[in-house]
Structure 1
Amino acid sequence: MKLIYTTFLFLIVSLSFSQAQCVSGDCENGKGKMVYKNKDFYDGEWANGYPNGQGIFVYGENGSNSYEGNFLNGNFNGKGKLIWADGSTYLGQFKNNTFNGEGILLWKNGNRYEGNFVDDQIYGNGTLTYANGDEYRGEFKDGKPNGKGTYYYKDGRKYSGEFKKGKQKGIGSISYPNGDTFKGEFKKGLKNGKGELITHNKTIYGYWLNDELNKIFIEKAEGHSNENKEVIMR
């Protein structure tokens, strides 16, 4: 799933002023509306012939895209709201036409991210809520869960631990709705490596392979333990 829509550069910088007409107000230093040959338009505050301050820029086929917020020398800069033709929306901080700082991104499919952005990428700390009811809270890098975080499944499971490129990788723990918990090593989003499984009546120390218990080292149940000295995988 692609997490980021690349923002459109403000088209004033690429359109010749000979292709535009100031239809109302002052489009040099003041408030005015500029309409371009392709019917895109900017309506708002101007300084030195460029959008500066608050305004709205409507562009694309039949005015299907819009940016409303702060401008600096013709660029999206400061707080603003960007709406795409498909209904997806970004509300937050911009710097030089890109998402930079705190913001909220809503996709047309119902996914929602709230947190930090760097150069149009989800990067840093945030919360990603999926349309299916799952939710991830934690660290991101290049638009994916990366670092430490917690993933809440809609079925009641909860994983807390390390992530790498969007997958559970490293040390973590997962709890289940029935009260069982697993603590140990993960790889490719699955239990892979040494771990400890605690249920209501026993504890198993063992080795997991692709989410399946592959080898039992020690099993404790109802006040006694069974230790298996043979360790076939490490």
Structure 2
Amino acid sequence: MDKSFSGVATYEYPDGRVYSGDFVNGMPHGKGQMTFPNQDIYDGEWIDGKMHGRGEYRRFNIEKDKYVERYIGEFVAGIIQGNGRIQFDNRMVYEGQWQNGKRTGIGTLWSSPCEYIHGLWKFNEIIRGVQHFENGDWYEGTFKNSKFHGFGRYFYSSGALFDGEFENGKPTKGVSITPDGVITTIGES
């Protein structure tokens, strides 16, 4: 591509990428679509040859012979950054804030219409929030390695409650209250 070209065109790069859209000074700039050699596709806004602004990125899996991720949202200098939504081929969906291509900030991850986690994320891990389960149970508190960890409350669909500390996903110290009001202390000696 001639570095002085500005306008609308389709160009195939030597590495196999194909870009169709706006160019400024020989670089993608404005709106356009890039198809990558691995069949990934980005369609959206560009600045100085980088994905920048709003766009849609679809990731192709050669072994599965299908697109396995679809992200719609914001990019900064070629990296997912800002607000966006990603849908995976297993139907899981995350919608929320991103930083440096990672779920970081406030967001929600749905694994089904009735099962989801909403809260504060850091580097793709939930650290504080609320998790709802299909059976009607829900947990509110802190997480570590995607498991209940630290202080939290687990509300059972039966009306029972555990309020206290969790470690590695299990209640370790606190108070359990049954639906009929029976209180049991757990982890105290």
- Taking structure 1 as the reference length, the TM-score comes to 0.73
Which amino acid is 1:153 matched to?
F
1:174 correspondence with 2:154? yes
CA shift, 1:103, in A, is 0.3
Q: Corresponding residue for 1:76?
A: 51
Q: Corresponding residue for 1:58?
A: 35
Deviation string, structure 1 residues 138-178 (Cα, Å, up to 9, x no partner)? 011110111x2000011111001112232211111111111
Could you tell me which runs of 5 or more consecutive residues in structure 2 were left unpaired when the two chains were aligned.
Answer: 62-66
- Is contact 1:51–1:74 with CA below 8 Å preserved after alignment? yes
**Structure-1 separation of matches of 2:105 and 2:46:** 25
- Is contact 1:79–1:92 with CA below 8 Å preserved after alignment? yes
Q: Corresponding residue for 2:9?
A: 32
Q: Any idea what SS the aligned residue of 1:130 has?
A: strand
Which amino acid is 1:97 matched to?
G
CA shift, 1:104, in A, is 0.3
Could you tell me which runs of 5 or more consecutive residues in structure 1 were left unpaired when the two chains were aligned.
Answer: 1-16, 209-230
Instruction: Find 2:132's aligned residue among 152, 160, 169.
Output: 152
Deviation string, structure 1 residues 190-224 (Cα, Å, up to 9, x no partner)? 1012x11111323323124xxxxxxxxxxxxxxxx
Provide the alpha-carbon RMSD of the alignment. Answer: 2.0
Q: How many residues align?
A: 183
Deviation string, structure 1 residues 42-96 (Cα, Å, up to 9, x no partner)? 01001111110000001124xx211000000000000000011142111100011
Q: Bigger radius of gyration, 1 or 2?
A: 1
- Is contact 1:56–1:69 with CA below 8 Å preserved after alignment? yes
Which runs of at least 4 in structure 1 moved beyond 4 Å after TM superposition? none
Instruction: Find 1:184's aligned residue among 155, 164, 167.
Output: 164
- Taking structure 2 as the reference length, the TM-score comes to 0.89
**Structure-2 separation of matches of 1:28 and 1:189:** 58
Q: Corresponding residue for 2:181?
A: 202
CA shift, 1:105, in A, is 0.8
Q: Give percent identity, aligned residues only.
A: 27
Q: Corresponding residue for 2:145?
A: 165
Q: Corresponding residue for 2:64?
A: none
- Is contact 1:109–1:131 with CA below 8 Å preserved after alignment? no
Q: Corresponding residue for 2:118?
A: 137
Q: Any idea what SS the aligned residue of 1:85 has?
A: strand
